[in-house]
Amino acid sequence: MTMYEKILSVTPGIAQARKVVVSLSGGLDSTTLLYLLAKRFRKENVFALSFNYNQRHDIELTQAKRTCKKLGIAHKIIDLQFLGEIARDVSAMVKGSVATPTMGDLEDQKKVSTYVPFRNTILTGITFAFAETVGADAIALGVQYGDYAATDGSGSRIYHYWDCSNDFTKAMQAVADLNDKHSIKFVAPFVSLTKADELELGKELEVSYEDTWTCYAGKSDKEKIVYGNEPMGGRITRYVKHYQPCGICPSCVGRAEAFKQVGMIDPVVVSGVWEDQEEV
C-alpha cells in the first residue's frame, strides 16, 4: 500500500466527500495536503483559500499562489489583517512587537510566542462558510500532530498548539454538524502524522517543495531590479526580493529534521525563494 492509499484509508470523511475547500497557507503541510486532494478529487473539485492576517512570513502567500497556478486550482486570498492587529503585541507570527523565537527560546515556555490566539478557529469557520457558499461538502486543513506535541532530545514536550490537535478537529466538526441545512466534513489527513510522514507522501505525489515556505522570520536578504517592456513602449521596473530561511526558528528546525529523516534535500534551504513584487 502506498502512503497515499494508506492516508486516504484512515482519514475520516474523505471517502464520502466530492468537493473540498482547502485552507492553504503556502507552507509544507497545507501544500502537501493540496497535492493529495488534487489527486483524490481532481482539480475542478478543489478550491484553495489563503488568508492574509498580516503574518510576518507573508512570502508564504506568494508560494500558495504559485502552487495553485501550477496545479490549475482556483484560489482566493482573504484579507484578515484585523487578526494581525489584534495579536501584534502577543504573537511573533504577525508583524508587531514580539520577536521571532529560536527553538532554544521555547524550551521553558508553556505558551509559545508563535501562537496566534484562536487563529485556526477563525480560519476554519471562514473555510466552512466558503464551502457552504460554493456547495462543497468538505473542508481540509493541514493541522498536524508535530505542531501540537513537539519534543526535545529527551522526549519532553517543549511547545504545543492546541488548535492543531485531534480534539480541535473533532470540536469544529461538532459545530459544523449543528448546521442542518448543509452537511460539511472537516477533513484532516495529517492530524496524527509527522512532517516526515508528509514528506514521504510528498515524494509519491511529486510535490514541488521549492514552492513552499516554512520559516517564521520571513525576512528578505537581498533584492534585484528586473526590467520588462511595456506594451506601448518604454520599460517597466520591478523590484524582486529574495528570501532565505533563518534556519534557527522552531519551524525551520522542525522542517530541517523532517527532510533529514527522509533523506531529502530541502530546495528552499539550497536556493531560497525569489518573490516578484508585482505578484503580491
How many distinct structural domains can be found in the chain? 1
> Does residue 20 contact residue 45 with C-beta atoms inside 8 Å?
yes
Domain containing residue 176 = 3-207
Q: What does the pLDDT look like over 184-195, one tens digit per residue?
A: 999 999 999 999
Q: Is residue 276 part of a domain?
A: no
Please report which confidence band the pLDDT of residue 237 belongs to, taking 50, 70 and 90 as the band edges.
confident
Q: Is residue 44 part of a domain?
A: yes
CATH number reported for the structural domain that contains residue 14 in this entry: 3.40.50.620
Q: What does the pLDDT look like over 162-179, one tens digit per residue?
A: 899 999 999 999 999 999
From the list 190, 189, 191, 195, the residue with the least C-alpha distance to 258 is 195
Please report which confidence band the pLDDT of residue 109 belongs to, taking 50, 70 and 90 as the band edges.
low
Q: Is residue 168 part of a domain?
A: yes
Q: Is residue 197 part of a domain?
A: yes
Q: What does the pLDDT look like over 201-233, one tens digit per residue?
A: 999 999 999 999 999 998 899 998 888 788 777
Percent pLDDT > 90 in the chain is 77
> Does residue 276 contact residue 226 with C-beta atoms inside 8 Å?
yes
Please report which confidence band the pLDDT of residue 279 belongs to, taking 50, 70 and 90 as the band edges.
very low
Q: Is residue 214 part of a domain?
A: no
From the list 207, 238, 190, 246, the residue with the least C-alpha distance to 35 is 207
150 class by beta-carbon count within 10 Å (0-12 exposed, 13-18 middle, 19+ buried): buried
pTM exceeds 0.85, yes or no: yes
